[in-house]
Amino acid sequence: MLIADITQQLFYQKGFCNVRDDKIRDQLGCTKTTLYKYFDNKRFTF
């Protein structure tokens, strides 16, 4: 699954403001360092 697919699913289910970065990382199975290597914040995952 792509990062965009996972984040869109989370945003749809919970609402953009209710999804924290740690939830995105948990779903992706990656570390904070890895996520922020590619994205400055959750807005850029959308």
Domain that holds residue 26: 3-45
Count of Cβ atoms closer than 10 Å to residue 24 Cβ: 19
Length of the chain: 46
Q: Can you give the pLDDT at residue 38?
A: 81
Q: Which residue has the higher pLDDT, 46 or 29?
A: 29
Assign residue 20 the CATH number of its domain: 1.10.10
> Given a cut of 70, is residue 1 above it in pLDDT?
no
CA distances from 33 to 9, 14, 15 (A): 22, 24, 24
pTM: 0.71
- Amino acid 17 reads C
Q: Give me the number of domains the chain comprises.
A: 1
Q: What is the pLDDT of residues 21-33, one digit of tens each?
A: 889 889 989 898 8
What is d(CA 14, CA 32) in angstroms, rounded to the nearest whole number?
21
